[in-house]
């Protein structure tokens, strides 16, 4: 069923009254994907080697009808997708929030013992047990397989979103040539800034806002993007620059070309961080 190391399987057992189930889960998300996005059919696509996939075997000591077993499959897939969302797993192809990998599999089996069960949705006891066991086992086995944790570093989270910091810093260098002799120091201080507990939450907030803008989730007439960008810029400048520098600092967005998978709010935030670090080094 999988290329994942089966020694990293996680097994979860759940029981409630006369219902008992066990979930066996292996997971890898190297080739995570978002349902509905272009993978194979997009221009310049390449052969995919599904090294890591999500594989779930659910064994239930109970008497499930055939339609209930189909319902069980649905609930398993829902639980898997919720777990991916809670870990902020991103598509290998686009950097968008992933709903699975390109070759996931699910197997459901039951003993046919006891009272007949017709439903396994989230409003049933069986559905609750399925959701809990699949989510818990998925997170544990993914940690075993790839050491993925919810609070992984911001640099890793940006890479998963297809945001290349090296490329952005090189673009900034192209518009600030006097930074050349200090460029290695500049790159090191940018990475240190991303790990700053005062800065990282602001960056994560800009990423979330850009996601909501892209998905059309911002209520009409209630979002002034320029104002939001200015608020983040002021907060970062006050955090990263000395007072005498912050009063004269100007963020020139026109000097940094828009490239890659950057939303406009995050892009402005990153530009502000680079400008602040540049000002501290070169002035």
pLDDT of 39 reads 77
Does 18 share its domain with 142?
A: yes
Count of CB atoms situated within 10 Å of the CB of 85: 12
**Which single residue is written with the structure tokens 């490239």?**
259
Q: Comparing 253 with 223, which gets the higher pLDDT?
A: 223
Does 104 share its domain with 184?
A: no
Residue 263 within a domain: yes
Q: Per-residue pLDDT averaged across 79-100, rounded?
A: 95
pLDDT of 45 reads 58
How confident is the model over 198-241, as pLDDT tens digits? 999 999 999 999 999 888 898 877 788 888 988 998 899 888 88
Does 120 share its domain with 231?
A: no
Alpha-carbon distance of 68 to 113, in angstroms, equals 14
pLDDT of 245 strictly over 80: no
How confident is the model over 59-77, as pLDDT tens digits? 999 999 999 999 999 999 9
Does 128 share its domain with 203?
A: no
**Domain closes at, from 146, 171, 190:** 146
Confidence of residue 42 (pLDDT cuts 50, 70, 90): low
**Cα-to-chain-centroid distance, residue 160:** 7
How confident is the model over 115-166, as pLDDT tens digits? 999 999 999 999 999 999 999 999 999 999 999 999 999 999 999 998 989 9
**Domain closes at, from 129, 146, 163:** 146
Question: Directed axis angle between helix 264-282 and helix 225-240, to 10°?
Answer: 30
Is 89 in contact with 148 (CB distance < 8 Å)?
yes
Residue 191 within a domain: yes
pLDDT of 261 reads 64
Does 10 share its domain with 141?
A: yes
Domain coverage including residue 181: 154-282
pLDDT of 254 reads 47
Does 111 share its domain with 72?
A: yes
Query: What are all long-range contacts of 197-202, with beta carbons under 8 Å and residues at least 24 apart?
Result: 198/239, 199/236, 199/239, 199/240, 199/273, 200/154, 202/232, 202/235, 202/236, 202/269
Among the listed residues 3, 4, 14, the one whose alpha carbon sits nearest the alpha carbon of residue 144: 4
Does 128 share its domain with 172?
A: no
Identify the three-state secondary structure at position 94.
coil
Alpha-carbon distance of 283 to 278, in angstroms, equals 8
| Count of the separate structural domains present in the chain | 2
* Residue 97 per-residue DSSP state: B
Does 210 share its domain with 92?
A: no
pLDDT of 250 reads 64
pLDDT of 149 reads 95
Residue 23 within a domain: yes
Does 101 share its domain with 163?
A: no
Helix (H) or strand (E) holding 116: strand 116-117
pLDDT of 40 reads 75
Does 140 share its domain with 160?
A: no
Residue 1 within a domain: no
Is 106 in contact with 56 (CB distance < 8 Å)?
yes
pLDDT of 99 reads 96
**Domain closes at, from 118, 146, 174:** 146
């Amino acid at each position: 069923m999988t290329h994942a190391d089966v020694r990293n399987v996680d097994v979860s057992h759940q029981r409630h009254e006369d219902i008992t189930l066990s979930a066996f889960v292996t997971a890898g998300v190297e080739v995570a994907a978002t349902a509905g996005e272009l993978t194979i059919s997009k221009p310049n696509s390449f052969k995919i080697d599904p090294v890591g996939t999500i594989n779930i075997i659910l064994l239930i000591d109970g008497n499930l009808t055939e339609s209930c077993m189909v319902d069980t499959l649905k609930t398993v897939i829902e639980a898997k997708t919720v777990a991916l969302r809670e870990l902020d797993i991103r598509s290998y192809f686009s950097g968008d929030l992933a709903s699975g990998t390109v070759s996931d599999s699910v197997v459901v089996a039951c003993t046919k013992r006891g009272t007949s069960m017709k439903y396994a949705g989230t409003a049933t006891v069986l559905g609750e047990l399925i959701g809990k066991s699949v989510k818990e086992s998925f997170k544990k086995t993914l940690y075993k397989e790839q050491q993925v944790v919810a609070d992984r570093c911001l640099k890793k989270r940006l890479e998963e979103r297809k945001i290349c910091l090296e490329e952005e810093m090189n673009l900034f260098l192209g518009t600030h040539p006097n930074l050349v002799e200090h460029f290695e120091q500049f790159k090191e201080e940018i990475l240190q800034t991303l790990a700053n507990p005062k800065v990282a939450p602001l960056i994560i907030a800009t990423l979330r806002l850009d996601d909501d803008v892209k998905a059309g989730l911002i209520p009409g007439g209630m979002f002034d993007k320029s104002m939001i960008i200015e608020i983040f810029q002021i907060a970062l400048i006050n955090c990263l620059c000395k007072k005498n520098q912050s009063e004269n600092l100007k963020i020139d967005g026109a000097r940094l070309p828009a490239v890659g998978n950057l939303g406009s709010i995050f892009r402005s935030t990153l530009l502000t961080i680079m400008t602040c670090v540049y000002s501290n080094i070169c002035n």
